[in-house]
């Protein structure tokens, strides 16, 4: 059940990202000028945009970490450059990555020395 909920959440994130990109692409020049005015005048909007940009810049690092943890780098390596696309790239990776329950689990042996 948990896998289905996660998969649905990942698909909703991907759809929302596509919707935001389409909405921004259909905006006219006056909308962009108004956004730029808000970006310059509102500290909240300015900081939010900078934060989104910074977090998007770190997305490939976290995607790479998850790929290596799942040992999926050989098959999903094409998703790493795609993760540079803000919101959409990481959301696509979440939809396509294998679940941890299907990954082989290795248990390391610990040795304890006698006291």
Dump strand ranges (E) for the chain: none
Q: How confident is the model at residue 70 (pLDDT cuts 50, 70, 90)?
A: confident
User: What are the C-alpha distances in Å from 15 to residues 20, 23, 33, 73, 78?
Assistant: 9, 12, 26, 25, 20
**Of 3 and 33, the one with more pLDDT:** 33
Q: How confident is the model at residue 107 (pLDDT cuts 50, 70, 90)?
A: low
Return the pLDDT at 101: 64
Is the residue at 71 inside a domain? Answer: yes
Domain boundaries, position 58: 2-99
Is the residue at 106 inside a domain? Answer: no
Is the residue at 64 inside a domain? Answer: yes
CA distance 75 to 7: 19
Is the residue at 105 inside a domain? Answer: no
Is the residue at 87 inside a domain? Answer: yes
Token pair, residue 35, equals 């956004």
Is the residue at 74 inside a domain? Answer: yes
List pLDDT tens digits, range 90-103. Answer: 888 888 888 776 55
Contact 86, 52 (CB under 8 A): yes
Is the residue at 108 inside a domain? Answer: no
pTM: 0.63
Is the residue at 112 inside a domain? Answer: no
CA distance 69 to 63: 10
**In the chain, how many domains are there?**
1
């Amino acid at each position: 059940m948990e896998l289905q909920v996660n998969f649905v959440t990942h698909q909703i994130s991907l759809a929302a990202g596509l919707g935001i990109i389409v909405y921004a692409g259909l905006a006219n020049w006056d909308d962009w000028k108004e956004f730029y005015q808000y970006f310059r005048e509102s500290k909240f909007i300015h900081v939010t945009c900078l934060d989104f940009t910074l977090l998007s810049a770190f997305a490939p690092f976290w995607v790479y970490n998850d790929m290596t943890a799942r040992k999926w780098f050989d098959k999903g390596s094409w998703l790493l450059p795609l993760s540079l696309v803000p919101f959409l790239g990481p959301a696509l990776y979440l939809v396509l990555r294998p679940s941890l329950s299907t990954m082989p689990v290795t248990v390391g042996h610990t040795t304890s020395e006698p006291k």
